[in-house]
Every structure is written in C-alpha cells, then in structure tokens.
A and B are shown apart, each in its own frame.
Chain A
Amino acid sequence: MTDEAVGDGVGELPLREIDDRLVLSVPADESAIELTHELVARLWMRHTHVPDDVRMRYEMGLIEILANVVEHAFAADGSGAADGSGGSGAVGGRRVLVTLAVNPTAAVARLEDNGVPADLDLSQVAMPDEDSESGRGLAMALAALTELTFSRDAGRNTWDLRCDLS
C-alpha cells in the first residue's frame, strides 16, 4: 500500500484513537508469540460480541505475521546486523510493538518492529504445494484477514491487519 500515515503515523487504521486498545512491547523472539496469544485472549474478553470465525481468522493472521517478524529478527542477528544494544540474547535488542483493538466494524492490529527491512511483495505471495513443509505463513495470513498491508518507514516495519466483523 501507499502509506497514508501523517503526523503520528496512524495510517488508515485509527488504532491510536481507540481508547481501549491493548499494547505489548516485547523482544522480537519466540516469547512474543505466547504473550500475543494471551493478549488476544484478553481482547476477546473485552469484546465478547466478536464472532468465533472472526476470532480464529484474526488470531491466525496475527500469529503468522508475528512469526514472520520473529524470524526476520533472528535473521538479522545471523548477519551481524544487531544494533548493539544487546542484552536480550539472541535478538540483539530487536523489539516488536503489538497493538490490538476492536472498532465498530473490524478487529484490527498493528505490528511494528525495528528488524531488518522486510523486502517483500505481498501480491507475489501464494499458497505452496500441499507437500511443502514451509512457506505457508504469509499466504495463510492473507487468506485469513480481510486486509493486510506492509510498509517500511524510518527504520520500522509496520504491518496493519484488519478482520471485518461481518
């Protein structure tokens, strides 16, 4: 997408205008995945009207994108591109900011990380053959979500996810 963000980088999703959004800032490692599952569970406790199939698709898309972010963070360390802040072991100070919310029409999420630039074209993503053991993540996220966009700006990768309620 073309990033329409202005000012504080809100973009087309007014996430930061939603009062009861849930926010998590954690090292971009595997522990972020379990913590995000827990955050999603808390989101549904607050928004009990969200239908089951929307919950499933939202969590599926979110976890696939987060797994992608975590893998890129590890890849950055392997190439010696850590930013020197160290401290958190394998991920070299790379963090991910997870923001979740439900607005009147959709469950939305934003993932922001300071990992290596993700060079990808979502329009080229396709579901691999059935006997493939990997490469399915982004295709699953695209299939599960109503909209998925990615942008790279000022050293941050930003993923915006939307799953319409109906």
Chain B
Amino acid sequence: MTQFHVETHDGVGVVRPEGRLNMVAARQLKATLADLVEAGTHRIVVDLEATTFIDSSGLGALIGGVKSTRQQGGDLRIARPTEAVVSVLDLTNLSKILRPRDDVAGAFDD
C-alpha cells in the first residue's frame, strides 16, 4: 500500500508518496495536503521520486493542492517525477500547472 512521508523544512512542506497514487491513496494525499494547508504550510513540494503510478484521482488531489495553496498565497510543486508520472502529465496536458522540478530542495527557487 501507498505510504506518505511528510516533513516540513523552513516553512516548506515536503510530501513523499511511496507506491501507487490511485483512487485509495489519492484520498490520503488530499487529506495530508489539507492538513498542511490548515496548519499554515502554504508552500508544498510533492516528491514523486517513489511514485510508481498515478491515476486521475491522484492528479485531482495534486490539482486541488495547487489551488488551495495558491489561495493562501503559496504554491504546490512537484519534484522528481518518475517516467510513468511524466507520461501521464504529458497525456493530460498538465505539465504546465504541474511543472516538474528536478529536485526537492530547489523546487521553490523560481
């Protein structure tokens, strides 16, 4: 099953889903992101290095996170997506709103 590691460094939340980001895991991700935003963390990096699969509900959770963080003046960015995730982003035309960053630490450098 999918596991989530959550850390906060210098005000930036880092969420790392490990495994498949499908319908079941997407609900956990959505709740995790909502908890972070509610706790005042409005800049979030989702580290996708260990995410082997993503479906439409996983994408929906990420888009929801983009919207809720931006409403608070922050943002959600994704880093280190696997080939499987990149191909889904391309297929769904989401590479703009979810532009992949090369590393977690530098995800908010621009």
- A33 within 8 A of partner (CB): yes
Chain A neighbourhood of B59, CB < 8 A: 136
Q: Which of B39-47, B73-81, B87-95 contacts A (4 or more CB under 8 A)?
A: B87-95
**Majority secondary structure of chain B interface residues (helix, strand, loop or mixed):** helix
- Contact code string B71-110 (vs A, CB < 8 Å = 1, else 0): 0000000000001100110011110110000000000000
Contact A140 B91, CB 8 Å, known A34-B1, A130-B97: yes
Give B65's nearest chain A residue, CB to CB: A133
- B22 within 8 A of partner (CB): yes
Contact A134 B67, CB 8 Å, known A34-B1, A63-B55, A140-B91: no
CA distance A144 to B84 in the complex (A): 12
Contact A134 B22, CB 8 Å, known A34-B1, A140-B88: no
- A132 within 8 A of partner (CB): yes
Give B96's nearest chain A residue, CB to CB: A130
Do the beta carbons of B24 and A134 come within 8 Å of each other? no
Chain A neighbourhood of B93, CB < 8 A: 127, 130
CA distance A101 to B13 in the complex (A): 42
- Contact code string A1-40 (vs B, CB < 8 Å = 1, else 0): 0000000000000000000000000000010011001000
Residue of A52, A59, A137 touching B56 (CB-CB under 8 A): A137
Residue of B56, B87, B92 touching A53 (CB-CB under 8 A): B87
Interface of A with B (CB < 8 Å)? 30, 33-34, 37, 52-53, 56, 59-60, 63-64, 67, 70, 127, 130-134, 136-137, 139-140, 143-144
